[in-house]
Structure formats: C-alpha cells, structure tokens
Structure 1
Amino acid sequence: MDITPSSEITPDNDITPAYYRQVLGKLPTGVVAITGTNDDDEKLGLVVGTFQSLSLEPPLVMFCVDKGSSSWPKLRKLQKFTANILSDDQVSICRSLSRKGPEKFSGIPCTKGPLGTPHLNGATAYIDCVVTAEVVVGDHYMVVGSITHMSEGDGSALIFRGGKFGKYLPIEIPAPAQPVQSASEPARSAS
C-alpha cells in the first residue's frame, strides 16, 4: 500500500525541504536505534527520530525510515528488531549508528535480547518487536512492529530538536492559588 497526498491538494510553494525541516524542527523527537542481527551474527542498525506508540491492544509501535536507507533493506529481511530508546548520554552511539558502513557497532557494548537482537547497554528502554506491516508513505517507509517483549533501563531519553541533541528537563508548575475567603462569607466546616 502506498499512501500519497491527493493530487487535488497543491502544497504552498514556500514549503521547501529546508523550511519543512525548520518548522518541524521546533518539535522535539526521541532518538531510537533500531537494531537486529542477521544469520551471520552481523549486528545491523539505524537511527530514527520518528518512533511512536501506536496501539495498546494489541501492543504496537511504529517508526519511519527514509526509502534511501542502505540499512533498512538488511534489517527488513530479519522481520524482527529491537527499538533501543537512547539515553541522553548516548550521543556518540547515535552518531556511530547513523554512519554508513560495517563499523557502526565498533566499540558499542550490547547484549542479546530475547529475540537475539542487540540491546545497546545503557539505553533507557528496549522494545523487542516483529514486523507486522510496512507502508510506503511519501519518501519514507512506515514500519509497524508488534511488541513481543519490553524492558526499562535507567536514565533520561535523548531528544533531538532544531538540529541539536538534548534531554528532558521537567518544569515545576506551581499549585493553583487557594481562593481567599472574604470576611462576609461564613466559614465552611470540614465534615
């Protein structure tokens, strides 16, 4: 199935790829490493910034990968993967797995997960999946994974926004002020 925009809709001429990235770069995304191991025990991986929960019943997730990816065709053949939600101290792992070539996993410690796929040590979460669907959407593949196992690691997730890496910092929201009782109102008793 190929999902393409209606030919009746003409995008604004100002929507260049650069402007598209600039506008959508305002929204932070999580950084997730999709990993697998082929029959030759070769570790395979790529990094995605579009990873989402999709369904609770049944438990499904989805991610998108560029149609020009040289890593996805190799991972696709496996029909299973681990989504490693990278921790905020794993920028170097993100950069390594974003490279092309066989040395992607050089110096990256990992263990085998329940599906035999790499769990990157130090990730904040591991989600093991089998591929349920793949749909062509524009210049990307949207991949749906059925979750077989998941576990939590430690730390805060790595975030990407506006071309820069960062981490989540919660903000303190003050409690709402209690209404002031006027002198003319009778006091309410707590019963």
Structure 2
Amino acid sequence: MSIIVTPQNTGIDPAEYRKVFGALPTGVTAITGMTAAGKPMGFVVGTFMSLSLEPPLVTFCVDKGSSTWPTLRSLGRFTANILSTEQLPVSRALSRKGVDKFEGIDYEIGANGTPRIAGASAWIDCEVLSEVVAGDHYMIVGGVETMEATEREALLFRGGKFGDFNLWPAPAPTEKA
C-alpha cells in the first residue's frame, strides 16, 4: 500500500528550512544492498531511525531522484550500516555518483545477503515492507531481521559538518537547592 503525502504550499523558504533542520544532529547511515549480479550498492541517509519495537521496524527517507533506490527496492532487502566516526571517507564514497561507490570499502555479506560495512557502529539487516511517497522523497519502512552493535562512536552530521557526540556536549544540569 502506498500513501501519498502532499502538503499545501506553505511558502516556507527552502534555504531557511535547511538552516533550521541543520541545527538538528542526525546519524549518518549507509543503506546497502547486493545486486542480482553480486555487485554491492548503497547510499547515505541522515534520516534513519527506529520506528517500532513490537514488531521491530525502522524507517528512512530517500530522494525520489535516487538512481540506487529503485534497484535496492526491487531486491527487497537492505542493511542499515550506522557509520562510525572513523568512516567519514565511507560516507563520502557512498555519496558519489557515476562511479564504483564501493571501491576501497571493506565489507562482508550479512545473513540477509547484503553488505555490512566493516568498522560501522551497528548493522541492521532488514526486509523492505513499505514505501510512502512524501513530497520529494520516499519514506521506507523496513522489518528488522537481524542486528548487531559495536562500541564504536557513531558519526553525526549537524550544520553541514560531520562530528561525534563530543563536538556538541549538552550542558551539565544544574541542581537546585
């Protein structure tokens, strides 16, 4: 089932929209799959998140103009690789267009047949369950099949810059007497 979400034109300036939401740190996640010909493919999103605990579901959004998503969608499976702070080069490689994005990226094949990128903070192997058309993006819902976490710090993106939790510490709470 596909639901189309098309809000009325609000007059919101796209540059202001990016500026406001750029203040919100997001995780950097590589969505990967393996083609029928055995070639790894993937792209990076900043919209990956947990959706439901029971049943375990995740979601992410991908631009409608993505040339990679239609192939991954047709395969029906993906791995969400939550990139670690050491993986900025991986993020940049998977964001390129028109080249072998996996050149120089170390990975292994997970239980669902999709690439798990070495050195990630976590891996979540999923089945594609649904897709919602939402403005200029698709919102994907995946059913979690297997997952694994490491102790590696997650790579974050905020205000056009990459970093980790240490770049944006929350102020210590003050105690009232």
Give the shorter-chain TM-score range: over 0.9
Give TM-score scaled by structure 2 length: 0.92
Question: Matched residue pairs, number?
Answer: 173
Partner amino acid, structure 2, of 1:2: I
In structure 2, the CA distance between the partners of 1:174 and 1:143, relative to structure 1 (3 Å rule), is closer
Partner amino acid, structure 1, of 2:14: P
In 2: Cα distance, 1:38 partner to 1:74 partner = 7
Who wins on radius of gyration, i.e. which is larger?
Answer: 1
Q: Give the conservation status (yes or no) of the 8 Å contact 1:122–1:154.
A: no
Give TM-score scaled by structure 1 length: 0.86
In 1: Cα distance, 2:164 partner to 2:75 partner = 32
Shift of residue 81 of structure 1?
A: 0.2
Instruction: Spell out, residue by residue over 1:106-136, the C-alpha distance to the aligned partner (whole angstroms, 9 max, x if none).
Output: 0000011110100000000000000111000
Structure 2 residue runs without a partner (length 5+)? none
| Percent of aligned pairs with the same amino acid | 56
Higher relative contact order (CA 8 A, sep 6+): 2
2:72 is paired with a residue whose SS is helix
Structure 1 residue runs without a partner (length 5+)? 180-191
Alignment correspondent of 1:168: 165
In 1: Cα distance, 2:174 partner to 2:5 partner = 46
In 2: Cα distance, 1:27 partner to 1:43 partner = 31
Shift of residue 171 of structure 1?
A: 4.7
Partner amino acid, structure 1, of 2:6: T
Structure 1 stretches of 4+ moved >2 Å: 169-177
Q: Give the conservation status (yes or no) of the 8 Å contact 1:60–1:144.
A: yes
In structure 2, the CA distance between the partners of 1:164 and 1:111, relative to structure 1 (3 Å rule), is same
In 2: Cα distance, 1:117 partner to 1:127 partner = 10
In 2: Cα distance, 1:24 partner to 1:87 partner = 22
Alignment correspondent of 1:87: 84
Alignment of 1:29-178 (within 5 A): 29-169=26-166, 170-171=169-170, 173=172, 176=175
In 1: Cα distance, 2:62 partner to 2:48 partner = 10
Partner amino acid, structure 1, of 2:175: P
In structure 2, the CA distance between the partners of 1:101 and 1:153, relative to structure 1 (3 Å rule), is farther
1:92 is paired with a residue whose SS is helix
CA RMSD after TM alignment: 1.5
Shift of residue 173 of structure 1?
A: 2.9
